[in-house]
């Protein structure tokens, strides 16, 4: 029967409460770091889009000779 179904595989012991807690905190820290990065880039893009363009009245190509 082992040839058909294979031998039973050994299982790793379940993680301890401390290991599970550490993984959850690490996941939260990673998410926080990524969200800060996204927020920084979003703010930079937003500030660039809010800046007014060059004033056409002051453009040297539009001056009368």
Average pLDDT by stretches of 10, the chain with 65 residues: 78 93 95 95 89 70 56
Domain that holds residue 32: 17-43
pTM: 0.50
**Secondary structure letter of residue 15 according to DSSP:** P
How many domains are there within the chain? Answer: 1
- Degrees to nearest 5, angle at CA 34 with 31 and 37: 150
- Degrees to nearest 5, angle at CA 13 with 27 and 24: 10
Q: Is residue 52 part of a domain?
A: no
Q: Is residue 21 part of a domain?
A: yes
The per-residue pLDDT for 4 is: 78
The per-residue pLDDT for 6 is: 80
The per-residue pLDDT for 16 is: 95
The per-residue pLDDT for 61 is: 64
């Amino acid at each position: 029967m082992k040839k058909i179904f294979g031998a039973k595989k050994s299982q790793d012991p379940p993680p301890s409460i401390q290991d599970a807690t550490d993984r959850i905190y690490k996941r939260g820290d990673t998410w926080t770091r990524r969200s800060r990065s996204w927020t920084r880039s979003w703010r930079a893009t937003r500030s660039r889009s809010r800046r007014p363009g060059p004033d056409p009245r002051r453009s040297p190509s539009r001056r009368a000779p």
